[in-house]
Every structure is written in C-alpha cells, then in structure tokens.
Structure 1
Amino acid sequence: MQVKHNDVMEVGMKIHIPVSVAETKITKRYDTIPTATLHPNADEIEYIRRLVTYKDSAIIVLNKPPKVPVKGNLPVHNSMDVLAAAALSYGNEQGPKLVHRLDRESSGLLLMGRTKESFAQLHWLFTNINLAKSSSQTWNDACEATMQRYWALVIGCPKEREGLISAPLSKVLLNDGKTERVILAHPSGIDGSQEAVTEYRVMGPTINGCSWVELRPLTGRKHQLRVHCAEALGTPIVGDYKYGWFMHQRWKQMPRVDYEPMTRAPYKLRRPEGLEVQKGSALSKVPLLHLHCREMVIPHIAKFLSSSGEWHDEGTPWSSDKPDLLRFVAPMPSHMKISWNVMSSCLV
C-alpha cells in the first residue's frame, strides 16, 4: 500500500522504494564537469586527468575550469578534491591533497601535494607566505620567490594604475547563519579581522567600462581578491554578483561599443571571426566570473625532499646559490578568452 506523510513507522515495518536502474550514457564534456557519483566513473577519471598540467613525485598541478567546486561537502561529490583523490593517485596509496583553494566560480592553477611531506610544507608556505623560514637558506630563497598572479576583468578602472592594497578582512553571517560574506574589517579590529594584502596593476585601457587587472595576493584569505577589487578599489570583478551586484546593474546600462557580425555603421566594430557571445563573456547577459589564476611560482619541492621523504639540510647537493623553482602558466577559460579577444579587437 502507499505510505502517507502522517503514517507512523513501527518496529519491523519495511518501505519499498522504486528505483530506476536505467543509466543514461554520459557524453564527454570538457567545458563542464560530467555529473559525478560517489564513485567516479571512466568519464570523470578521464576528465580530471585532462586537467593535469604538471606532475612529479611531490606535486600535481591542474588547470581548474570555472563552476567546479574545489572542496566537496555533502551533497557535493563532483569536487576537485574528491575526483583527484580517486583518479590522480598514480600508484600512491593515497590521492593528492589540496594545498590551497580557488572559488567555485574562478578558474586557473590549482596545486596539490602527493605526499604528506610535500603537502605539509607547501600548505604551510601558502598559509604563511610572508613568514616562511627554515634552516635552509636555499629553501628560504625559494619561499621568498613563491607567488601567484591572477588576471581579472573589472568594472571600471582603479584610480591608480598600480599599487598595494592592505585591507584586513572579516566575515559576517547572514540569513541566520546560512550564508557567509567577507567584508573589509572595521578599523578597530574588534570583529576578528585577518590581515589581507594584494598587489595590483592595470594591464591596459578601459574599454566598454571594463579594465584588465593583474592581481598578486600576498596573503591567502577567502574571497580576498574579490573583496579587495569590489570594496577597496571600487571596481568589482565582472561576473561577481556577490560583491558587485549594484555595479553590474549600472554597467549594463552604460553606452558601449557594439559588436555586430555585419553592420554598415562606421562607428561599430565587427565581431571577431568565430566569436560566440553567449558563453559567459563580458558581452553576454549574465557573464561568468572573470577571475583566473594565471601564473604560479613555487619551490621545486621534490628536490628539497629526499627519495625517502626526508628534508634536505643545508649543504646537501640540492643547495645552491639560486633556489630551485617551478613556474606554471595556465590559459584562460573560454569565456575570458572571448572577453580578451573582444577588448583586444578594440585596440586594432
């Protein structure tokens, strides 16, 4: 019989739920992650492995697409850490662990540690990048050279072409604690603020009310770059509706250069060949977040660790006048490439 919502269960009673065992074939898609399950399938494994840009005995570096969560919490099972743990072990007993995080909506370089030692050292370094010290001067030099560079398209243009943002951040809870928002901390510092420092420079002219900006975080706080752009500079990142909703409303009403595939008006620009507007670019009605971890420089951690995983002391063969570093550069996702091409065509 059918169970009603007000029926009371008794000991020994059973409920039978019809379950469809039909499984739809998952097509291979690489712009968006395949629908994940508790146990990644062949398509998901192939997908996550295609994102790997570098791998050695100590680390794995991936180019994360937008709209993919990095850290999984129920009911999210298709996060980068879950898929990586299942598909990127490459013979190790355990899969790699996240050294740092990227927002779900952002894209770019994501670093993972393959061993307990490499994860611990790099995670500590990313957490304490301005305090990194050890017994090895070579390691200290490598720590000092560690950096990340992000590219972002912002609404408006900062008053200064380059500068240093030192604006502490704090978190507030909204909707009875269901949502969290990061804000600039009160000068008194009584609201549990955290130090947050970002270097920035404007990369080009302002076109259609937008500017490309390079950002280099010197601390690693949640939503640091988004809040610093929106609140400290007054130029929210395109597609960041959490911290720049009102600016987006004004920006969409601004006059701008039109991009038509064919037009007789001399003041209008022709859309670059092959350009698709409706893919989250700055020309679409609802742009995706334009924040991308473009470049990363880190210590060559595999050379600082011996084959047994132990740390090399000063005077070992790995010590030298110059630190051993790794540099990675990640291409932008499709929606940011479109925006870049559009703005570049305006300069021709």
Structure 2
Amino acid sequence: MSQGGMGGCRVLGQVWGGWWRGPGVGSARKVASFGTEARRQLQPRGSSKRSGTLGNQPFPGLLQPENLSREELVHVLRASVVDQRGPLVTLNKPQGLPVTGKPGELTLLSVLPELSQSLGLGEQELQVVRASGKEASGLVLLSSCPQTVSCLQKFFTQSRRARTPTATYWAVTDGIPATSEGRIQAALKLEYVDDVGLAVPVKSPSRKDLLEGVKRTLSHFRVVATGPGCALVELQPLTVFASQLQVHMVLQLCPMLGDHTYSARVGTVLGQRFLLPAESTKPQKQQVLNEALLRHLRLTPAQASQMPLHLHLRCLHLPGPRPRDAPIELLAPLPPYFSRTLQCLGLRQQ
C-alpha cells in the first residue's frame, strides 16, 4: 500500500529539523526483540515470575506488567528503546501494559518521569505522541519537546484527514480472509456492558447516530501469509476508534488470536462461519479455538485461555526532517511469543 502523501512534513518547519539533528543513540537493527534485553534487565532480581522468563512455556517473553515494581518497569522500558534521536524516543511496548489508567495504577504514563531521568533527558519529561493500546504490543512514540509533540500530532491529524496510513500493524488471525487485500469499513459505537466499553457495529447510521458518538471507521488489510486455518495479516487503520482493528477482523470472520473479547461474535455451523448480533453476544472469558489450530500451536485449551492478543504495531511512518527528505520508517521487532506462533503455524512473509 502506498505510503505517499508525506507532504504534511511542511508543517513541522525548522522545529522538526532541530530535534532530528540530535544524536541517534539507538536503532531498530540494534534491538533483537523487546523480550531479550528486558529479561536481561530483570534477571538479577532472580524471579522468573517477575521477569516473564517462561522457559518452555507457550508464550515466551510475555511479561506481566501488574507484577512489576516501578523500578523494574522503568528497566523494561529503557531496554525496549528502539530509537532515540534528541528529544524523540521510540519504544517497543510490551503487550498488556496500559498507557494510561486510574490514579495509583502502574502505567506507561505514570513512570515517564523516571524513564526521562534514566534516558538522560534531565528535567525534560517525556510525553506520549503515539502509542499502541494496552492489549497490543509495539511502537510507542515519545518526545520531551512540546513543540515536537505538537508538530507530530498535527502531522498525524493531517494524515488521517488525507486518508494516508502512518501505522502498520501485524496480526495473526483464526481464519483466512476471503480476499488477499482490501478495505474494511464499519460504523462503530461504544457501549458499556458491566462497566466495560465494547465497540459495536451500527448498520446504516443516521445523522443523529453520527452526532451521538457513532463513528465511521476504515482500515486497509493485506494477507501477508497463510497457514492451516490461519493468517498473518497486515493492517493499516485510517481512523481511530477503540478496538477498531479487532472488530474489523471479526467482521471478516477472522478474529485475532488472543481476542477473548470480540471473537465470540463469530459463530460456526457445519464448518461455516457467520456473524452473531453484537448487541446480544456477550464476551466470553476465553477465545474458543478448534482442535486442529490448538494442535498446530501446541497448546491445551487451558493454555489458550491465557493467550495474549496477537496484534503488534510494527511500523510507524514519519516525515523526514525537511520537506524534500525521504520519509522515516520506525520498526519494532516482534515479541518472542508472536514469533513462536508464526513458527508453529508456518506463517512466513512471502
């Protein structure tokens, strides 16, 4: 898919060139994966539970952020830096770590002051510019320069208005989309069930619906590889809505692996899949996978119930420091458990 239309970099002006001239102290090529360095940072504590070192467990490298101390989380995030250029810092966020949360909750936002100090930024505290959601892994863009934050946010807003994708996700799906690539469009609204916000499709929304919170959403998708009843899918959202990508893949009858919330909306009769009404389908406690897929994954049903969401923000596209410069591509390596799944399912990029 085209990544053109980067002319929005003109809004950044000299501010953009200023931060980009800062020394780069890391690169995506230098970091093999989030799990490698992060586990090394935590191993001196001697706790495999805290470090997420799962050995022969089915989800290697999976951390449990809720079991980490503030100090440990800062070590993990510092080890997860894939690029740092002046005040702009790019992390490879672990799956399950929330960006924001309730007061007192351990989140990415709550430890940014300590992370800023750890990265040598002094009193210039980092701010979140772009981040993958709690259940997703992958890129987080931070900056300690308010002007850079403002310029980047303007760039992302202009890109959305121009329908130019700036983020590329990878997902592993239960099922194979009917077409190798295409667009997924759906009007979505947020409904609360037992105090949990769920994205629900709305057919033929009226003008009143759109005024009351219903949003038209759009994503590009492309099948990267297929395996036995599964696929590796590249996704590029062109709009922003909670759980947009998970719901879009459910509408393709191909829920993501580890989607324990929305996968219940896909039913099966005599091997044929169909959509169940979202309004009357309550989320299940765990995703139900067929025996053949479990066998390929080498998982028991109990293990599958603990499977993390296989959604990874792999790439961000930014404008170059000056209007004539080539776009910048930031990459985040896959988590170890994601790579293990690809290997078990024989999903290799063509």
Q: TM class, shorter-chain normalised?
A: 0.5 to 0.7
Please tell me whether residue 83 in structure 1 is matched to residue 83 in structure 2.
Answer: no
- On the 8 A contact 1:127/1:220 being kept in 2, the answer is no
Measure how far apart 1:123 and its partner are.
2.2
Change (3 A) 1:204 1:61: same
Number of matched pairs:
269
Measure how far apart 1:87 and its partner are.
1.3
Measure how far apart 1:289 and its partner are.
0.6
Please tell me whether residue 123 in structure 1 is matched to residue 143 in structure 2.
Answer: no
CA separation in 2, counterparts of 1:182 and 1:284?
A: 23
Residue pairs, 1:3-82, within 5 angstroms = 27=47, 29=51, 31=61, 32=63, 33=65, 35-36=67-68, 40-41=70-71, 43-77=72-106, 79-82=107-110
CA separation in 2, counterparts of 1:338 and 1:242?
A: 23
- On the 8 A contact 1:97/1:119 being kept in 2, the answer is yes
CA separation in 2, counterparts of 1:167 and 1:45?
A: 38
- 1:342 is aligned to 344
CA separation in 1, counterparts of 2:222 and 2:156?
A: 22
CA separation in 2, counterparts of 1:293 and 1:48?
A: 16
CA separation in 1, counterparts of 2:330 and 2:216?
A: 27
- On the 8 A contact 2:219/2:236 being kept in 1, the answer is yes
Pick from 219, 230, 237 the counterpart of residue 198 of structure 1: 219
- On the 8 A contact 1:99/1:126 being kept in 2, the answer is no
Letter in structure 1 aligned against 2:333: P
Residue pairs, 1:116-155, within 5 angstroms = 116-131=146-161, 147-155=166-174
- On the 8 A contact 2:80/2:92 being kept in 1, the answer is yes
Letter in structure 1 aligned against 2:245: L
Measure how far apart 1:168 and its partner are.
2.4
- 1:290 is aligned to 310
- On the 8 A contact 1:48/1:83 being kept in 2, the answer is no
Change (3 A) 1:158 1:345: closer
- 1:237 is aligned to 256
- On the 8 A contact 1:152/1:215 being kept in 2, the answer is yes
Residue pairs, 1:247-266, within 5 angstroms = 247=266, 252-256=289-293, 258=295
CA separation in 2, counterparts of 1:69 and 1:331?
A: 19
Pick from 179, 182, 187 the counterpart of residue 204 of structure 2: 187
Change (3 A) 1:169 1:56: same
Cα RMSD (Å): 3.2
CA separation in 1, counterparts of 2:287 and 2:134?
A: 25
Change (3 A) 1:170 1:257: closer
CA separation in 2, counterparts of 1:151 and 1:250?
A: 19
CA separation in 2, counterparts of 1:219 and 1:63?
A: 22
Higher share in strand? 2
- On the 8 A contact 2:264/2:287 being kept in 1, the answer is no
CA separation in 2, counterparts of 1:96 and 1:131?
A: 27
SS in 2 for 1:125: helix
CA separation in 2, counterparts of 1:171 and 1:200?
A: 23
- On the 8 A contact 2:260/2:287 being kept in 1, the answer is no
SS in 2 for 1:149: strand
- 1:162 is aligned to 181
Please tell me whether residue 327 in structure 1 is matched to residue 347 in structure 2.
Answer: no
- On the 8 A contact 1:155/1:251 being kept in 2, the answer is no
CA separation in 1, counterparts of 2:244 and 2:157?
A: 13
Pick from 214, 236, 241 the counterpart of residue 216 of structure 1: 236
Gaps of 5+ in 1: 1-24, 133-142, 260-270, 304-317
CA separation in 1, counterparts of 2:289 and 2:113?
A: 42
Measure how far apart 1:236 and its partner are.
1.0
- 1:6 is aligned to none
- On the 8 A contact 2:172/2:257 being kept in 1, the answer is yes
After TM superposition, the runs of 4+ consecutive aligned structure 1 residues lying more than 3 A away are 25-28, 33-37, 246-251, 253-259, 283-286
Structure possessing the higher radius of gyration over alpha carbons = 1
- On the 8 A contact 2:257/2:307 being kept in 1, the answer is yes
Letter in structure 2 aligned against 1:253: N
CA separation in 2, counterparts of 1:182 and 1:111?
A: 25
Larger RCO (alpha carbons 8 Å, 6+ apart): 2
Change (3 A) 1:113 1:195: farther
Higher share in helix? 2
- 1:9 is aligned to none
TM-score of the two chains, using structure 1 as the length reference: 0.68
SS in 2 for 1:104: coil
TM-score of the two chains, using structure 2 as the length reference: 0.67
